[in-house]
Structure 1
Amino acid sequence: MNAKKRTLLITLTGRDRPGVTSRLFTTLSAFPVTVADVEQVVIRGRLVLGVLVSYGSDTDVGKVLAATEEIATDLGMELELATGSGNDSERGARRRHGRLHVTILGSALRPAALAGIAGRIAAHGANIDRIERLAHQPVTCIELHVTGADPDGLRTALAAEAAELQVDVAVQRGGLARRAKRLIVMDVDSTLIQGEVIELLAEHAGRRAQVAAITEAAMRGDLDFEGSLRERVAMLEGLDESVLEAVRHSVEFSPGVRTLVRTLKRLDYKFAIVSGGFTQITDALAADLGIDYAAANVLEIKDGRLTGRLVGPIIDRPGKAAALERFAAEAGVPLSQTVAIGDGANDLDMIAAAGLGIAYNAKPAVRQAADTAVNVPYMDSIAFLLGISGEEIEAADAEDPELAR
């Protein structure tokens, strides 16, 4: 029968420098101990290194303690030692089963926000194992590694807390499920770009206010999308097709879109846009950004003028979800590895179908239905939800010869 194991938690804290981790493990290798767990964090040049080892009755733990104390003294670091029973390592293994990532985004992240989020996590009986900063500009992004919580229950609780504290919070399962996301599908109007294309077109027809009111109601879900779209398109009848070129040139991408697409395409992500707008605009946007797939409605043009009608099938709420499924099949990506981003009621089906649904500066109904909501006006902050830090983005951009020119 195996002798009962005990554990020793060794924590070194002090100025980070090369060789600290190597030296500790080299010293421990001289003793009959096994490594049960390791955590290391560096914050502004200050290292916190924790190593949990297990040992049996044949180990002279006093010598282990003396050896680690000698390392700490030599390196000028603080040392904390704690012994426990063998099931400490078993608890550590259980904690890691079902690890969650809680990502907090805020333009100005105040201590009260972190206190509120941490309090909710504790109230759910969960533990924060690690905290790290993913970005500090243009937004601050802090990520908590949490164990011991039901993801759905915690997501609901933190959504309420985030709304009160005016920060964005995302709860995702850790491990391969998060890293495996490979296809990003984005809405266009008020998501990929600022504003609504149909309103820009309607301005040339002197009907912008009327069209904007219908658009707003449709995005809230108060009107049938297809019917409201046909009503708005009818108001464009008679416009010269040259207006399309003028609108194409006036469209502005949402802040951070180019950074997000550039960063994720470097990591072999595929991108798609799906829009209740019009191919006469979206095709040019897709070409500009290097988007892999695109779907949108088609305005009918005869004799150089818009007829006020559409051609072909309508890209509406079900149509967007169908496009997501089609793009995923073409890319060879299961739906569980897709991310859908949108802001209006016609995005709800694709957000529900995706592995991760993100409401981006969205209407209330969409925020409630999505896995997470992002309300900061920077599209590249979505990269943080995928575990990519601001420092990694900046480093990759600095090495890109195209950007250096």
Structure 2
Amino acid sequence: MVFFDIDGTLIPSMSSSSFLAERLGHQHELDAAEERYAAGELTNEEVSVIDAEGWRGVETRVVADWLDDLPLIDGIDAVVAWCTEHDVEPVLASLAWQPVSEAIAKRHHLTMNGGPRVQVVGTVYDGTVAEHFNEYDKRDRALQLAAERGVPIDQCCAVGDSRSDIPLFDALPTSLALNAGSTARAAATAAVDTKDLRDVLPWLEAWRRDFR
């Protein structure tokens, strides 16, 4: 089982929240909040509250349509095909809002596994957080899914780029920092810089051989 982060990993140029906030009209406020989160000045929950407010009054179908234009890293389908061929389940492990995970999972055939939610009333987002989801929830949900699937921890790995990936990196024997900052690099067992996800395949091949 391989767990992929979304923001900064599968979406290399920006966060999915920033992508949506630009269209929702609160990108400046969110980007400032995310910078403070990266610096350790705000919690993930505080950032989520700021972001969710910008969704108030927007139809769920509108957000779903916008997500068709998410700027994803090249090579996702090739990596998912490798996973299928080698009996490895590709799973999303991310703090991105659930509609983002749902859109990527559906488009590229990955398994969705949790994330924060904006409250929906009828077919409209109401601007409040229905479910918070932090870096420890991300780790715990990943480990829970592995246990449910009967996959030992030593047959799991993770790919990510930031401090929100560190609890999961620490819980698994193998991890890859992809286009990552120094903190995530220090926590991972390997690192790669690339604009194409296919460049992680040699690392995945080596990981897969280790537990055969």
Q: Same fold (TM over 0.5)?
A: yes
Q: Are residue 359 (structure 1) and residue 177 (structure 2) matched? A: yes
RMSD between aligned residues = 1.9
Kindly provide the CA deviation profile for residues 350-394 of structure 1, in whole angstroms up to 9, marking residues without a partner as x. Answer: 111112111111222111111112112221211111336xxxxxx
C-alpha spacing 1:359/1:220, structure 2 compared with 1 (3 Å): farther
Report percent identity of matched pairs: 22
Deviation at 1:220, TM superposition (A): 4.5
Aligned to 1:296: 115
Q: Are residue 189 (structure 1) and residue 7 (structure 2) matched? A: yes
Aligned to 2:140: 322
Aligned to 2:30: 211
Q: 2:186 aligns with which of 347, 356, 368?
A: 368
Which aligned segments of 4 or more residues in structure 1 are displaced greater than 3 angstroms? 219-222
Q: 1:198 aligns with which of 17, 23, 30?
A: 17
C-alpha spacing 1:217/1:379, structure 2 compared with 1 (3 Å): farther
Task: Provide the C-alpha distance between the structure 1 equivalents of 2:38 and 2:163, rounded to a whole number of angstroms.
Answer: 5
Q: 2:150 aligns with which of 326, 332, 335?
A: 332
Aligned to 2:85: 266
Task: Provide the C-alpha distance between the structure 1 equivalents of 2:38 and 2:81, rounded to a whole number of angstroms.
Answer: 29
Hey, which of these two has a bigger chunk of helix by percent? 2
Q: How does 1:305-316 map to 2 (within 5 A)?
A: 305-312=124-131, 314-316=132-134
Aligned to 1:345: 163
- The answer to whether the Cα contact below 8 Å between 1:221 and 1:346 also exists between their aligned partners in 2 is no
Higher relative CO (CA 8 A, sep ≥ 6), structure 1 or 2? 2
Aligned to 1:9: none
Aligned to 1:30: none
Residue 344 of structure 1 aligns with an amino acid whose one-letter code is: S
- The answer to whether the Cα contact below 8 Å between 2:25 and 2:54 also exists between their aligned partners in 1 is no
C-alpha spacing 1:206/1:292, structure 2 compared with 1 (3 Å): closer
Larger radius of gyration, structure 1 or 2?
1
Deviation at 1:303, TM superposition (A): 4.3
Q: Are residue 235 (structure 1) and residue 54 (structure 2) matched? A: yes
Residue 309 of structure 1 aligns with an amino acid whose one-letter code is: T
C-alpha spacing 1:222/1:358, structure 2 compared with 1 (3 Å): farther
Task: Provide the C-alpha distance between the structure 2 equivalents of 1:347 and 1:222, rounded to a whole number of angstroms.
Answer: 17
- TM-score normalised by length of structure 2: 0.88
Q: Are residue 285 (structure 1) and residue 137 (structure 2) matched? A: no
Task: Provide the C-alpha distance between the structure 2 equivalents of 1:353 and 1:315, rounded to a whole number of angstroms.
Answer: 18
Aligned to 2:209: none
Deviation at 1:254, TM superposition (A): 0.8
Task: Provide the C-alpha distance between the structure 2 equivalents of 1:345 and 1:220, rounded to a whole number of angstroms.
Answer: 10
Hey, which of these two has a bigger chunk of strand by percent? 1
Q: Are residue 378 (structure 1) and residue 196 (structure 2) matched? A: yes
Other structure's SS at 2:9 match: coil
Task: Provide the C-alpha distance between the structure 1 equivalents of 2:104 and 2:111, rounded to a whole number of angstroms.
Answer: 11
Q: How does 1:114-263 map to 2 (within 5 A)?
A: 183-194=1-12, 195-263=14-82
- The answer to whether the Cα contact below 8 Å between 2:2 and 2:91 also exists between their aligned partners in 1 is yes
Q: How many residues of Structure 1 are paired with residues of Structure 2 in the alignment?
A: 205
- The answer to whether the Cα contact below 8 Å between 1:201 and 1:236 also exists between their aligned partners in 2 is no
Kindly provide the CA deviation profile for residues 108-145 of structure 1, in whole angstroms up to 9, marking residues without a partner as x. Answer: xxxxxxxxxxxxxxxxxxxxxxxxxxxxxxxxxxxxxx
Task: Provide the C-alpha distance between the structure 2 equivalents of 1:357 and 1:347, rounded to a whole number of angstroms.
Answer: 10
Structure 1 unaligned residues grouped into runs of 5+: 1-182, 389-405
Aligned to 2:205: 387
Deviation at 1:267, TM superposition (A): 0.8
Deviation at 1:198, TM superposition (A): 1.3
Structure 2 unaligned residues grouped into runs of 5+: 207-212
Kindly provide the CA deviation profile for residues 333-353 of structure 1, in whole angstroms up to 9, marking residues without a partner as x. Answer: 111211111112111101111
- The answer to whether the Cα contact below 8 Å between 1:340 and 1:357 also exists between their aligned partners in 2 is yes
Kindly provide the CA deviation profile for residues 301-327 of structure 1, in whole angstroms up to 9, marking residues without a partner as x. Answer: 224332111213x22110011011012
Residue 343 of structure 1 aligns with an amino acid whose one-letter code is: D
- TM-score normalised by length of structure 1: 0.48
Task: Provide the C-alpha distance between the structure 2 equivalents of 1:303 and 1:291, rounded to a whole number of angstroms.
Answer: 28
